[in-house]
């Protein structure tokens, strides 16, 4: 069992609540290399191997665990891609048909996907194939119920116009791209999804994304409604990716102010603070938690005693737990 080193830092919150957010350093055997979820359970890779995370009341402990076992990559899939699992109509989905026709390389190499494969619950597979003018500049499709059945959310990048957010779903019995946000407008300009939830409490689902997380850092909220994407909010000073990294989940969704509506935890543009943002009745910063080094890993959401918590690693190889 690893010892938990507590270095509490009180953080001022922008809401009228008595509880503040805190940050604790979690001692690990060597530098933290990766945070992922395996079967819904958090796993941490360090220089000494893999560990599971156990939330035990007011503390977190790490336990030695075997390396994660991923399902076999289907033939023709993106070599460094991940398979997404659905819960209803969609059994699995993955990016396929590797291509180097777009030389951006924001995810660590210049091999992107030319197609998306969707496997239905009955085993039937369908391919959503892009033209030579675009690629899926992504690693794992996101399967979510946006209303009216499961849809797939992925980053589609145009060779001449940069990235757009695409929603893929059924049309006339076949999977196809149903809607896209406008592309950024220039090549080698990318966006990264940050979360999918009903962020403003109105019953409709929104998709949060960061437009140009390395150069602009603008967080945008796009509502899925009547088969279209509508931008409903935006703010600056955010980022959820470092150039060349394959960690695309540097954000997480949770009810961080206790009002029953989903909020978003996301780094500031310099990735040296974590911003907890509410979108109910407008954009409001619940808290801003300073980090000793830039956020570098994926975020892992924990629930301890009913209160949301966040685990993340920083660029200096340290592990932190954020909680109230």
Q: What is the pLDDT of residues 54-100, one digit of tens each?
A: 876 677 889 999 998 888 889 999 999 999 999 999 999 999 999 99
Q: What is the mean pLDDT of residues 4-22?
A: 44
Mean pLDDT across the chain? 91
Closest CA to 33 of 22, 53, 49: 49
Q: What distance in Å separates the CA atoms of residue 128 and residue 242, rounded to the nearest whole number?
A: 28
pLDDT of residue 7: 30
In sequence order, what are the beta bridge partners of 54?
A: 61
The 3-state DSSP class for residue 77 equals: strand
* 287 compared with 305, residue with greater pLDDT: 287
Q: What distance in Å separates the CA atoms of residue 151 and residue 180, rounded to the nearest whole number?
A: 13
pLDDT of residue 15: 38
Residue 9 clears pLDDT 60, i.e. is over it: no
Q: Radius of gyration (Cα) for the chain, nearest Å?
A: 19
pLDDT of residue 212: 98
The pair of structure tokens assigned to 221 is 């909220």
Q: What is the mean pLDDT of residues 204-217?
A: 98
Say what the pTM is.
0.91
In sequence order, what are the beta bridge partners of 218?
A: 211
Residue 2 clears pLDDT 50, i.e. is over it: no
In sequence order, what are the beta bridge partners of 154?
A: 166
Which helix (H) or strand (E) segment is 209 a member of?
strand 206-211
* 149 compared with 9, residue with greater pLDDT: 149
Q: What distance in Å separates the CA atoms of residue 310 and residue 9, rounded to the nearest whole number?
A: 15
Contact 164, 158 (CB under 8 A): yes
pLDDT of residue 166: 98
Q: E-strand spans in 101-202?
A: 112-120, 125-129, 134-136, 142-145, 150-158, 162-171, 174-180, 191-197
- Return the minimum-mean-pLDDT range out of 90-94, 145-149, 219-223: 145-149
Q: Could you tell me the pLDDT band of residue 12, with boundaries at 50, 70 and 90?
A: very low
Contact 169, 147 (CB under 8 A): no
Residue 304 clears pLDDT 70, i.e. is over it: no
| Half-sphere CA count of 186, side-chain side, radius 13 A | 4
């Amino acid at each position: 069992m690893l010892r938990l080193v507590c270095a509490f830092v009180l953080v001022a919150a922008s809401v009228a609540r008595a509880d503040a957010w805190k940050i604790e350093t979690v001692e690990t055997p060597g530098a933290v290399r990766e945070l992922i979820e395996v079967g819904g359970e958090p796993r941490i890779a360090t220089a000494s191997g893999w560990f599971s995370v156990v939330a035990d009341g007011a503390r977190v402990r790490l336990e030695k665990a075997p390396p994660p076992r991923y399902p076999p990559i289907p033939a023709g899939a993106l070599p460094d891609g991940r398979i997404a699992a659905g819960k209803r109509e969609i059994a699995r989905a993955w990016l396929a048909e590797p291509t180097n026709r777009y030389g951006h390389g924001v995810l660590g190499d210049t091999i992107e996907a030319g197609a998306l494969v969707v496997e239905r619950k009955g085993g039937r597979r369908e391919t959503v194939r892009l033209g030579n003018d675009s690629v899926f500049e992504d690693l794992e499709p996101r399967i979510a119920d946006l209303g009216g059945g499961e849809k797939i959310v992925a980053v589609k990048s145009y060779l001449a116009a940069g990235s757009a957010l695409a929603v893929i779903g059924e049309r006339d019995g076949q999977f196809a791209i149903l809607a896209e946000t406008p592309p950024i407008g220039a090549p080698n300009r990318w966006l990264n999804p940050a979360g999918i939830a009903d962020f403003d409490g109105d019953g409709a689902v929104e998709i949060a994304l960061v437009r140009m997380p390395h150069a602009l850092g603008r967080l945008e909220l796009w509502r899925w409604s009547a088969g279209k994407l509508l931008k409903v909010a935006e703010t600056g000073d955010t980022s959820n990716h470092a150039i060349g990294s394959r960690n695309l989940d540097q954000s997480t969704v949770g009810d961080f102010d206790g009002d029953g509506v989903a909020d978003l935890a996301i780094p500031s543009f310099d990735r040296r603070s974590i911003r907890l943002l509410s979108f109910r009745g407008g954009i409001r910063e619940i808290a801003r938690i300073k980090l000793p080094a830039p956020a570098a890993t994926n975020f892992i959401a924990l629930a301890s005693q009913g209160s949301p918590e966040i685990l993340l690693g920083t660029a200096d190889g340290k592990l932190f737990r954020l909680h109230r």
